[in-house]
Amino acid sequence: MDTYSQVIIEAVEKVSPAVVKIERLERSSRGEVVGGSGSGFIFSSDGYLFTNSHVVKGATHLKVMLQDGRTYPAYLAGQDAATDLAVLKIEAGELTTVPFGDADELRIGQLVIAIGNPLGFQHTVTAGVISALGRSLRGADGLMMDSMIQTDAALNPGNSGGPLINGDGAVIGVNTAIINGAQGLCFAISINTAKSIANQLIRFGKVKRAYIGVAMQQVDLVPRLRAMHEVKNRQGLFVTQVERSSPAAKAGVMDGDIIVGFADQLVETADQFFKMLTEEKIGQWQFLKVIRGNEMKELRITPVEKGD
């Protein structure tokens, strides 16, 4: 068997026992019916699992089916529409959990594997590569989702909430979106973002975060640019769009700027920036450092609460 196939087989065998099918039960004139389904994966031995917020939206009850056929009712520990993440809890024993990877170590072109239940076909496996990092994507509800991983691993309805894994079988993302009519454009939420969100959802049932209003893409900084501006960054966040009337627009951020610093800290990855936009930054002005052409600019920006 060739090496490529062996890598995928071993990675899938490590993770697939923790991948689940989720059914959303809804009320109708015929009583309670299955209103939709998706995927998820167990990340703690006491029964917590990740899925997407849109998978559980509108459910009166939730049902989780494990790979071995066991079925359990699940309750919603919390959800965050801004990142399309939800955490569910089941009461079950002898649970297999997934190992986590580090999304900050990902590289464009790296092998990735998606596992889920597309169109009801349980434990379907597809593979591809990372196409881009640190993407911003507008969700179905109109909210901008940041720090997204773009991949060409084939996803279909029902894959939502399943794991995106690397060649070592470690989860590096939560599959969330496809773009209708596009081919090879699929997206996952970084696992680093997901872990941060999960802690708040389990503790508080919701998430409060700061927001500045930009769409971004993670890019490498060429040595000439780094030397010119004497920055330590190897990467930065390229601003592809500034939201109208947002804190970024009011601060003077422009399309094409490259964000390299925030609140006196280096910014190299979308995950780093996401973690900096914490609740205590809401309403408090900060310095945002950007490269614009051949100039380095330091802008004063005041984040607002996400959703305001």
Please identify every residue annotated as catalytic: 54, 84, 160
Phi-psi region for residue 9, left (φ > 0), alpha (ψ -120 to 50) or beta?
alpha
CA angle centred on 168, ends 131 and 49, rounded to 5°: 85
DSSP state of 47: S
Residue 154: closest CA among 132, 175, 123, 173? 175
Contact at 8 Å (CB) between 157 and 132?
Answer: no
Contact at 8 Å (CB) between 306 and 211?
Answer: yes
How far is residue 99 CA from its own chain's centroid?
16
Q: Work out the burial of residue 58: count CB atoms within 10 Å of its CB; fewer than 13 is exposed, 13-18 middle, 19 or more buried.
A: exposed
Q: How far is CA 231 from CA 127, 255, 286, in A?
A: 36, 21, 19
* Cα separation, 293 vs 277, whole angstroms: 26
The tokens describing 286, both together, are 């900060």
